[in-house]
Amino acid sequence: MSSEIEDSGADKCELIGGGGGVFDVVVDGRLIFSKHQIGRFPEPGEIAGLIGE
């Protein structure tokens, strides 16, 4: 996942371990993906696409 994010052109990627099934992606302080809200993990390429928006 981190290489996909880095390949999208993001300046910095930091993975932070969590627990309880939490999987959130925050870019520049903005939540762009939340497994809790959507109810699923991202599809391949989905995070990179959201970063580009």
**25 bridge partner residues:** 33
Q: Which residue is it, tokens 């991202």?
A: 42
Q: Which of 46, 34, 40 is nearest to 1 (CA)?
A: 46
Structural domain that includes position 34: 2-52
DSSP 19-49: -TT--EEEETTEEEEEHHHHSSPPPTTHHHH
**What pLDDT, on the 0 to 100 scale, is given for residue 39?**
92
pLDDT digits (tens, 9 = 90+) for 7-49: 776 666 666 777 888 888 888 788 889 998 999 999 998 988 8
Cβ of 29: how many Cβ atoms within 10 Å? 5
Domain count, the chain: 1
